[in-house]
Structure 1
Amino acid sequence: MGMDRDISQDLLEQVNQALNQGTALRIQGGNSKAMLGRAVAGEVIDTRGHCGILSHDPTELVLTARAGTPLREIEAVLHEAGQMLPCEPPHLGAGATLGGMVAAGLSGPRRPWAGAVRDQVLGTRLISGHGKLLRLGGEVMKNVAGYDVSRLMAGSFGCLGLLTEVSLKVLPRPRETLSLRLVMDRRQALAKLAEWGQQPLPISAACHDGDTLYLRLEGGAGSVQSARQRLGGEVLDSRFWSDLREQRLAFFNGPAPLWRLSLPATTGELDLPGRQLVDWGGAQRWLKSDAPAQSIHARAATLGGHATGYGAGDASCAPLPATLLRYHRALKQQLDPQGVFNPGRLYPDL
C-alpha cells in the first residue's frame, strides 16, 4: 500500500484564502494531462499530498480513494484482487492521479463496451467555490436541478470544484484475453466492425491503423476461442492496447499536432488531411494533421461529433453552442460563483 494522508483541511484553507483575496487557483495532481485545454493563470493547488485508498471491498466491487492517490497504485491494488477499472483510463505520464483521471474524463480502448469514466463514478467529495467541503452521490444523489453532480465532475477539468475523494465501480478482470491482427483496408474494417457490432462477439477493443485491424477479445475461454476461430487473423501481443492508450504507438510520434475526434460509431471514411488512427471501433479517431484547427472543428461538427486538440492551447476546443454554454455558465455559477477554479481551462469565459 502507498501513502495515506488527509490534507483536506489544508486544501480547504488554501481555497478560502484564494476566495478572500479574489485570486485564481490552478488545480494540479501529476500534471500528466497538461497538454489538454487552455493555459490557466493561477496559484497551483497540489492534490498529491491528499492520498490513500480509503476502502476497497472486492465483493462489493467498489473502491474509494483520495483524489491525489496515484492511479498506478489503485490499479495495482485492483490487479491483486483480480479486478480492474473498466474504462482503462490513460495515464499519459508517470504521476497520474485519481482526481486527474476523473477531471480529464479520458477512457481507454474498452470505452464503447464498458462505459466511460463518468459511468464508473459513484460518488465524490469536493471543495466547492463557496469554500465548503461537499459530499456528492454515494450510489446516486441528484441535486435540485436533476443533475447527477458527481458524474458531471468527469471531464470538467477542475472548473467546477476541487475533487478530494472519489468512489468508483470496479469490475472483475476477464478470465480470458486474446488479441488479433487482421490485414484489411480502412473501408473494409469499418464495414466489418459495423457488422460485428450487431453480433454477440466478445470484442472489447478495436483499432485500425490504415492497413491493419487490431481486435481484442475478452470473456470466458469458450466464447473467446470460438470468436477467434470465426474471425481468423494472427495473434497479437496484448501490450498493443496499453501502447495505444498511452500514445506510445509510432503513429503518435512526429511534429504534426495531435487531434482526438469523438464521432458517431457509424461514421465512414474521414476526409481530413494527415494521418489517421481509428480507435473504439470507429467512435474515436486520432488525427495527426497540420490542417487549421477551425477546419478540423468544423468537419467534426458536420459529422455530429467534436474534436479536441492535444497541445493546441486556445484552439483545443471548439466554441460551445449557445444552449450548452448557458448550462455550463449556470453550473459554474452554482458551484464556483467567484470563478476561482481553473478559469478558462475549458472555455475562455468559464
Structure 2
Amino acid sequence: MGQDHDDSTSMMEQVIYALNERVPLRIQGGNTKANIGRRVAGEILDTRVHRGIISYDPTELVLTARAGTPLKEIEAALEAENQMLPFEPPHLGQSATLGGMVASGMSGPRRPWAGSVRDYVLGTRIITGHGKLLRFGGEVMKNVAGYDLSRLMAGSFGCLGLLTEISLKVLPKPRQCASVKLELNTHQALAKLAAWGQQPIPISAASHDGKFLQLRLEGGEGSVKSACERLGGEALDGSYWSKLRERQLPFFDTSEPLWRISVPNNSAVLNLPGKQLLDWGGAQRWLVTDEPAEVVRLAVTALGGHATRFGTHEFPFQPLPEPLLRYHQRLKLQLDPQRIFNPGRMYAEV
C-alpha cells in the first residue's frame, strides 16, 4: 500500500456491481472513525489502495490528493513546506486517510479561530449513486440539483457518495507559538474567554479541564510574547493540544459513555453529572457520564446545542426535527437513490 496508485476504475466497478445487485457498501479507509455513527451492514469498499498526492503547489496554497492517501503523508508534505491543515483534523489512529478526514468532518482545537474542514474543501471527485465519476468545485459548476456537493461531503460519513479525490486550501504555519495554563474554575474561564474574544489576543486554542484553563497563542513573535506577558500563568507543553485532538488525555481513558457536545459561543456551564472537558473556547464540550441519552440531549438542546454519542448506539447523532429529516432523505434520494452508500450510518431513515 506504500505506492501511489489510481484505483478509481476498480472502485467504480464495485459501485456498478453494488447498483446492479442492490448490495449496500460500507465505505472505509483506515477505519479510525468506526466508533462514530451507527453500524453499517454491507460489502466493504476499502479506499486505501486509491492513494497518493496528485499535485501540491505551496505558492498557491492548494493540495490535491486521492481519498485513500494516509493523512500523515499529507501532513508530512505540508510540514516540509512549513504549511499545515489549519483545522487540525484528528487522526484517532495511525491509518487515518484524507477521505475519512473529509467524510467525518472533524476538526481540532483551532476550529473556532481557523474554520472547519468544510471551509477548506475546494473541490472533489465523487462516484455518485448513479454510477458516475463527477468532479465538483473549483472552476466546475455545481451539480444540477444546485448543491455545492464538495462541501456537502464534509461530515456526511460517506452517505452521499464515494470520495475519490479532494482538493484543499492549506495555510502557512504560524511564525510563533506558545502555550500557557491559568488556574481558574469553569465559570471564571468562560467569562475570561468571552472578554478576551473582544480583544486582539492571538488565541488559537482554549481548553478547560475543570481546574486549569489551557491557552495556545500563535502569530508574530511580538504579539505572542506580549500576550504571554499580559496573561501570565505557567508555561504549558505544546503537546497538550495534539493529545486533546487525538483524545489521548487521561480524561478520555474511561469505560463510561463519551459524548461530544457542540454549543453556541459563550454558553453557560452545562449542568450534568459526570466529568467535562471544554475545547474550542467552550463551544465544544466533552462529557463522560452514565446519564440517559434523553437527559443529556434535553440539557444540551436547552443551550441551543447538539450532542453526539461515541461507541455503539442506536441514536449516536442528535435526532433531526421532522422537516430537516425530510430534507436529508430527499438529498439521499437524489444523490444515492438505491441507498448503497453507508445506509443508516448517521440515521436509520437515511
Using the size of structure 1 for normalisation, the TM-score is: 0.98
Please name the residue that 1:39 is paired with: 39
Please name the residue that 2:286 is paired with: 286
8 Å CA contact 2:315, 2:347 repeated in 1: no
Deviating 4+ runs (over 2 angstroms): 139-147
Structure 2 residue ranges without an equivalent (≥5): none
Please name the residue that 2:194 is paired with: 194
Q: State yes or no: 1:104 paired with 2:140.
A: no
8 Å CA contact 2:39, 2:312 repeated in 1: no
Structure 1 residue ranges without an equivalent (≥5): none
Residue by residue, what CA displacement relative to the aligned partner does 1:279-304 show, whole Å, maximum 9, x if unpaired?
Answer: 00010000001111121122211211
Please name the residue that 2:338 is paired with: 338
Matches within 5 A, 1:39-58: 39-58=39-58
8 Å CA contact 1:122, 1:139 repeated in 2: no
Determine the C-alpha separation between the residues in 2 that align with 1:317 and 1:85.
Answer: 26
Please name the residue that 1:255 is paired with: 255
Determine the C-alpha separation between the residues in 1 that align with 2:144 and 2:261.
Answer: 33
Determine the C-alpha separation between the residues in 2 that align with 1:100 and 1:139.
Answer: 24
Residue 115 of structure 2 aligns with an amino acid whose one-letter code is G
Determine the C-alpha separation between the residues in 1 that align with 2:17 and 2:146.
Answer: 31
Residue 87 of structure 2 aligns with an amino acid whose one-letter code is C
Matches within 5 A, 1:183-262: 183-262=183-262
Please name the residue that 1:322 is paired with: 322
Determine the C-alpha separation between the residues in 2 that align with 1:312 and 1:318.
Answer: 14
Determine the C-alpha separation between the residues in 2 that align with 1:274 and 1:315.
Answer: 20
8 Å CA contact 2:181, 2:215 repeated in 1: yes
Determine the C-alpha separation between the residues in 1 that align with 2:326 and 2:135.
Answer: 25
8 Å CA contact 1:257, 1:312 repeated in 2: no
Using the size of structure 2 for normalisation, the TM-score is: 0.98
Determine the C-alpha separation between the residues in 2 that align with 1:312 and 1:203.
Answer: 36
Give 3-state SS (helix, strand or coil) of 1:55's partner.
Answer: strand
Determine the C-alpha separation between the residues in 2 that align with 1:141 and 1:32.
Answer: 33
Deviation of 1:144 (Å): 4.0
Residue by residue, what CA displacement relative to the aligned partner does 1:211-246 show, whole Å, maximum 9, x if unpaired?
Answer: 100000000001000111110011111000000000
Determine the C-alpha separation between the residues in 1 that align with 2:324 and 2:145.
Answer: 15
Deviation of 1:318 (Å): 2.4
Please name the residue that 1:304 is paired with: 304
Deviation of 1:314 (Å): 1.2
Q: State yes or no: 1:154 paired with 2:158.
A: no
Residue 79 of structure 2 aligns with an amino acid whose one-letter code is H
Q: Number of paired residues? A: 350
Residue 83 of structure 1 aligns with an amino acid whose one-letter code is Q
Deviation of 1:5 (Å): 0.1
Q: CA, structure 1 residues 62+86, in 2 after alignment: closer, same or farther (shift >3 Å)? A: same
Determine the C-alpha separation between the residues in 2 that align with 1:290 and 1:86.
Answer: 34
Determine the C-alpha separation between the residues in 2 that align with 1:139 and 1:263.
Answer: 35
Deviates more, 1:205-214 or 1:262-271: 262-271
8 Å CA contact 1:27, 1:162 repeated in 2: yes
Please name the residue that 1:86 is paired with: 86
Q: CA, structure 1 residues 119+348, in 2 after alignment: closer, same or farther (shift >3 Å)? A: same
Give 3-state SS (helix, strand or coil) of 1:79's partner.
Answer: helix
Deviation of 1:139 (Å): 5.3
Identity in percent: 67
Deviates more, 1:316-325 or 1:35-44: 316-325
Please name the residue that 2:166 is paired with: 166
Determine the C-alpha separation between the residues in 2 that align with 1:130 and 1:105.
Answer: 24
Determine the C-alpha separation between the residues in 2 that align with 1:262 and 1:305.
Answer: 5
Deviates more, 1:237-246 or 1:316-325: 316-325
Please name the residue that 1:295 is paired with: 295
Q: CA, structure 1 residues 218+141, in 2 after alignment: closer, same or farther (shift >3 Å)? A: farther
Give 3-state SS (helix, strand or coil) of 1:251's partner.
Answer: helix
Please name the residue that 1:179 is paired with: 179
C-alpha RMSD of matched pairs (Å):
1.2
8 Å CA contact 1:29, 1:47 repeated in 2: yes
